[in-house]
Amino acid sequence: MDYKSLRVYEIGFSLAMDIFEATKRFPKEETYSLTDQIRRSSRSVCVNVAEAYRKRKYPKHFVSKLTDSDAENAETQSWLEFAYACKYLDLDKKTKFIEKSNEVGKLLNFMINNPGRFGVGKD
């Protein structure tokens, strides 16, 4: 199995791309603040999952990278709240993004609590 076939990666990647498309319409004055931050954090969710999967031989590294991914996911949700409050996202879009993010969080939590199911610690 490759990390790209993990459901958490698939949903996280889809969310990051949805956010990328939505942020194309954010005001130019947000380019180096909200736009950059939300794109970075949403992409980091997947990047940390990929790193965790490659480090699955080492249980502590695996869990550490997944908790980093979970933190980036929470950061993404905070930026989504700001984008909604600033009226850059409508309620429907924010709700859909948060729902995807919540699903990512559930999957990350499962992985953190069940590392052996992902080949962690095996040679």
Does any domain span residue 34? Answer: yes
- 106 alpha-carbon distance from chain centroid: 11
d(CA 80, CA 98): 8
Domain count, the chain: 1
User: What CATH number corresponds to the domain at position 83?
Assistant: 1.20.1440.60
**Cα(101)–Cα(91) distance, rounded to whole angstroms?**
15
* 123 pLDDT higher than 70: no
Q: Give me the helices (H) in 7-90, please.
A: 7-23, 36-54, 59-85
Q: What percent of the chain has pLDDT over 90?
A: 93
Task: Show the domain range for 7.
Answer: 3-113
Q: Supply the pTM of this predicted model.
A: 0.94
Within a domain: 120:
no
Closest Cα to residue 10, out of 2, 76, 62? Answer: 2
Residue 87 predicted with pLDDT over 80 = yes
pLDDT tens-digit series, residues 11-64:
999 999 999 999 999 999 999 999 999 999 999 999 999 999 999 999 999 999
